[in-house]
Amino acid sequence: MRLLLISNSTNAGEAYLEHPMKQIRSFLGTAAVNAVFIPYAGVTISFDDYTGRVRDRFREIGHDITSVHELANPVEAIENAPAIIVGGGNTFHLVKMMQDQGLIEAIRNKVLQGTPYIGWSAGSNVACPSIRTTNDMPIVEPSGFNVLNLVPFQINPHYLDANPEGHAGETREMRIEEFIEANPGMFVVGLREGTMFLVEGGSIRLIGTKPARIFKKDSEPTELEPGADCSFLLYEPGLNNLVFH
């Protein structure tokens, strides 16, 4: 199984998809790939415009995309996809439409067979067991929160340490601590902007310019530096067997 799970599409002051382009090119390889794109996280941008924006960037690196919204049979498109790309936006909207189109099981099965998967923001959220660590507002109601379960831990994309002056509400870390209190044994990774996970060959590596923050109940949060081998995240906590395909 091969995954590229990216925290965010755009760093401040950079062009769209600029910071992960080198890794996306390397991940897909030099032979031209026409990947299947899922634009369903887009809400305030049309699927046509979203697809065009991503297509333009992918063509710059010698690849192309076809969006599922352009096709009569999205499940068949996934079953025949040489690569699958899931864009960011609203995670709840993405999941509801994936469920409505019957894509959850189709994508999971295809990726477990070795098809490369790239996701950013909401697209990284849905690679986890659940979307319960998304930052997004539930603007629509999916039939459930369980998603692709490609990795056995949770990601919180766009992770921020900041507590703005005058803000009296919960910080991001406090929200994650609530999750691990209610879900003991589950790792949560605060994936900061400008970083991503590369999962392949039964291992996982942090790529980017910032460390990731790791949360688990009854443990102090820890920082993993870029380049670190994070393969321990692919083990079910408390077990000795790798739960990774």
Measured between alpha carbons, how far is 47 from 40 in angstroms, rounded to an integer? 7
Q: Indicate if 93 belongs to the active site.
A: no
Residue 241 forms part of a structural domain: no
Are 102 and 75 contacting, i.e. CB atoms less than 8 angstroms apart?
yes
Is residue 186 in some structural domain? yes
Please report the pLDDT score of residue 242 as a whole number.
35
Distance CA(206)–CA(166), nearest Å, equals 33
Q: Where are the alpha helices (DSSP H) in 68-127?
A: 74-79, 91-100, 103-112, 122-125
Given the residues 136, 143, 229, 231, the one annotated as active site: 136
Q: Distances in Å between the alpha carbon of 199 and those of 58, 76, 81, 100, 119?
A: 21, 25, 19, 28, 12
242 assigned to some structural domain: no
Domain that holds residue 84: 3-234
- In the predicted structure, residue 166 carries a pLDDT above the cut 90: no
User: Residue 244 domain-assigned?
Assistant: no
Residue 55: name the closest of 78, 44, 39 by CA: 39
* Residue 229 is among the residues annotated as catalytic for this protein: no
| Cβ pair 117, 83 in contact under 8 A | yes
Task: Catalytic residue, from 7, 67, 121, 130: name it.
Answer: 121
Number of structural domains found in the chain: 1
Asked about 158 being catalytic, the answer comes back as: yes
For residue 226, is it within any domain?
yes
Give the active site residue among 158, 161, 203, 219: 158
| CATH number where 216 lies | 3.40.50.880
pLDDT digits (tens, 9 = 90+) for 173-192: 999 999 999 999 899 999 99
Is residue 102 included in any domain, yes or no? yes
pTM recorded for the entire structure: 0.93
pLDDT above 70: percentage of residues in the chain: 93
